Structure 1
């Protein structure tokens, strides 16, 4: 808990004693998501991010120096989630499974990432609405926001996950021209720019 400075009062303060007792009873092996579910069972619906930010300044988890010393880095875990399972070594697979067992939120995120990758690979854009609903229900920071963003142009995203045509080649050519233009800015005129683009 942060000490030495005043913390602003919150409507969640009335739950502090209960939540701290649950953390102590579980020996620290309880997640924000599980605490949020307990509050929901008691009739208090709280957004995940609000509870997480409040818990950082009001609640205390037991220290676990030995486990923290051997814990994989965030970069490593993100790589395990986003890479194809067949590219993971045996040791990475073992560590990854241990992480997923320890953190249900990461396990959910892993399933959602895999399902989205499957849609990309198999061109099953018709499954996108169901994926978005699942992602929203999970209430995972980052993924929930990503899912909401997809709905702003759902038809285009669905087509991108369904049809085999892509504007990637055109976008790449445009970006290449922009790069050459930036390199020659204030150094040459249109004629040289034209020749360099043709040579590329």
Structure 2
């Protein structure tokens, strides 16, 4: 007598066919075909992915990403308006055009469907410093990067190393990275 398990039609043995499936798997697969419904479409992009597409420079996106972003922006006018503002803000920052920031803030504030109003209000609270920072080609990025590295090292050995070992590791990292420093002559 052939082997039969509950839920399978007679004569359908997974051992005999060397297959691993259940009746419910086949039923779930065949249901859309029987009902005449279409199979599910592709999942929409995750919010983080859509944000990355909107904030990345167009030259850094693949052709597929560019096409998907174009479709996404045509389907969602609010996102399209926000993407326009994000691109114009990126242009202001990249070109050191801080003096145009108040105009950008007014545009964002006047746009009814833009989600950047809170960001613009935060910039407006200290507008002089933000305009100066965006107009000046120099920044504290290298210093902040060094501070971040040192804090990460300190957290990594917290409670396990005494002050002499921590001091030695900090000095070794500083000496190693010193050769990568940009001098004022090289910056000109």
Shared fold (TM-score, shorter chain, > 0.5): yes
Q: Which moved more, 1:102-111 or 1:172-181?
A: 172-181
Match of 2:105 in 1: 132
Q: Which has the higher contact order (CA 8 A, sep 6+)?
A: 1
2:136 maps to 1:163? yes
Distance 1:144 1:169, change over 3 A: same
2:123 maps to 1:115? no
CA–CA distance in 2 between the matches of 1:185 and 1:95? Answer: 45
Selected match of 1:174 from 141, 147, 159? 147
Aligned residue pairs: how many? 135
Query: Which is helix-richer, 1 or 2?
Result: 1
Match of 1:72 in 2: 44
CA-based RMSD of the aligned residues comes to: 2.3
Larger Rg: 2
Q: Which runs of 5+ in 1 are unaligned?
A: 1-64
2:125 maps to 1:152? yes
Q: Which runs of 5+ in 2 are unaligned?
A: 1-36, 174-188
What's the TM-score once normalised by structure 1's chain length?
0.60
Residue aligned with 2:138, SS: coil
CA–CA distance in 2 between the matches of 1:151 and 1:162? Answer: 16
